[in-house]
Structure 1
Amino acid sequence: MHHISQDMQNCIDECLRCHSTCLSMAMSHCLEKGGQHVEPSHFRLMMACAEICQTSANFMLMGSELHKRTCAVCAEVCEECARNCEQVGDMQECVDACRRCAESCRNMAA
């Protein structure tokens, strides 16, 4: 079994938290709100964010040397998702989770 540093464990935790937040907000909050919240590009971005967060966490958990690449992409997608959720409005929980994950993934990718 490979060693997971505290920084990596923190990043895994942020990725899993962001995955959970984006998925649950899309499926409950956005679907219930309607309007801009279910606009296809917004909804797809939230789903993409949830997926890349889970993938990045999985790459770190399995000890893949490619985790730096997935983390770099994850940071980019999370930043875009945070901006988009901020524009749509009434999604601060998602904005915050995405920004925390983006910062943690940027550090892990460095």
Structure 2
Amino acid sequence: MHHISAEMKQCIDECLDCYSVCLSTAMGHCLEMGGEHTKPPHFKLMMACVEICRTSAHFMLIGSEHHKHVCRECAEICMECAQDCERIGDMQECVDACRSCAESCRKMSA
């Protein structure tokens, strides 16, 4: 089994947290609110964020060297998602989870 550093363990946790928060926000809050919350560009971005976070955690857990590329993309998508959720408003938990994940993934991709 490969060794997972404390920094990587934290990044995995941040990715899984962001995955969970974004998915539950999209499926609960956004679908209930409708309007801006369910417009295709925003909703697709949230789903992309959910998927890239799950994938990044998976790549780190299996010890793939490709995790650096995936984490770089994850950081970019998470920042976009954070900005869009902030723009629409009333999704602070999602904004915070995305920013945390983006920061952690940025470090992992270095």
Length-normalised TM-score, structure 2: 0.99
| Structure 1 position 52, deviation (Å) | 0.1
**Do residues 45 (structure 1) and 45 (structure 2) align?**
yes
Mark the runs of 5 or more structure 2 residues left unpaired by the alignment.
none
1: distance between equivalents of 2:50 and 2:35? 21
Counting only pairs closer than 5 Å after superposition, residues 1-110 of structure 1 correspond to structure 2 as: 1-110=1-110
Query: Counterparts of 1:43 and 1:103 in 2: how far apart (Å)?
Result: 22
Q: Distance in 1 between the 2:27 and 2:47 partners?
A: 10
Identity percentage over the alignment? 70
Secondary structure at 1:4 match in 2: coil
In structure 2, C-alpha distance between the alignment counterparts of 1:103 and 1:28, rounded to whole Å? 26
Q: C-alpha displacement at 1:51, in angstroms? A: 0.1
Structure 1 distance, partners of 2:58, 2:102, is 16
- State the Cα RMSD in Å: 0.3
Amino acid at match of 1:30: C
In structure 1, the residue corresponding to 2:41 is in which secondary structure?
A: helix
Please state how far the C-alpha of 1:44 moved relative to its aligned partner.
0.4
Q: Give the secondary-structure state (helix, strand or coil) at the position aligned to 1:3.
A: coil
Amino acid at match of 1:29: H
Moved over 3 A (4+): none
How far apart are residue 75 of structure 1 and its match? 0.1
- 1:69 positional shift: 0.4
Deviations 1:24-83 (A, max 9, x none): 000000000111000111000000000000000000000000000000000000000000
Alignment length, in residue pairs?
110
The one-letter amino acid of 1:85's match is C
Distance (whole Å) between structure 2 residues aligned to residue 107 and residue 54 of structure 1: 17
